[in-house]
Amino acid sequence: MAAEAKANAPTIPEMPPLTRREFLNYAWLASLGFVFLVGVGGATYFFAFPRFKTGEFGGLFPLGKAGDVLPGPDDPPKHDTAGKFWLSNVNGAIVALYDVCVHLGCLYEWQTVSGRFECPCHGSKYTKDGKYVEGPAPRSLDRMVVEFQNGNQTIASTNAKGEPVNTPTDSNAQVVINTGKIIPGESHG
């Protein structure tokens, strides 16, 4: 019976041997696939992990010695157009404000007459430290991380809430603004 079942079983035809031409075609297609995957993987890596140069928006902005570059408590905020931030001194503490209004993305300006930031597009107003005063903006201004450094050591830095950083007593401390870390402003309502 087993011999009879074996005789009636369908036979699987043998595969013809792989020719040289077929082998080369498969090898060529496999190498194209490999090159494609490496290219896509490399492009993904470079776009997923951008590397910004120092002094380029999205990277670090070393401004210089604190005694030379920081505005005084009674001075108007300083605008850095390349870094896209306003540097403001509020009672001896420094804050870097992203220079784009949180309402619809207009560029706001410091108004010396009123002593506050005002957006020309829709009239949102903010205090010297970026806190919302009035207008259609949904929150206070966004902030960037301010660091005071002595050599490679960070002396003081903006906290997670983006609160102003007290100016160090060492006027030789280097001021660095990290434009890659934007802290959203507090919602007002």
CA–CA dist 85, 143 (Å, integer): 8
Q: In whole angstroms, give the CA distance from residue 165 to residue 148.
A: 9
Low-confidence ranges of the chain (pLDDT < 70): 1-7, 9, 49-58, 189
Contact between 112 and 76 under an 8 Å Cβ cutoff? The reply is yes
CA distance 129 to 113: 16
Are the CB atoms for 147 and 180 separated by under 8 Å?
no
- Domains, the chain: 60-183 (2.102.10.10)
Looking at residue 57, its pLDDT comes to: 66
Q: What secondary structure letter does DSSP report for 135?
A: S
Q: What is the pLDDT of residue 154?
A: 82
Provide the pLDDT for residue 82. 82
Question: Radius of gyration of the chain from Cα atoms?
Answer: 31
Least Cα distance to 81 among 66, 100, 64, 95 occurs for 100
Task: Return the ∠ at Cα 131 (arms to 83 and 94), rounded to 5°.
Answer: 50
Strands of 102-173 (E only): list them: 109-111, 116-118, 125-126, 132-134, 143-150, 153-157, 165-166
> Which pLDDT value is given to residue 49?
65
| Residue 86: half-sphere exposure toward Cβ, Cα within 13 Å | 26
CA distance linking residue 22 with residue 1, whole number of Å: 43
pLDDT of amino acid 54: 62
Q: Where are the alpha helices (DSSP H) in the chain?
A: 2-8, 20-48, 66-69
Query: Residue 1: what pLDDT?
Result: 58
Which of 135, 78, 66, 74 minimizes the C-alpha distance to 102? 135
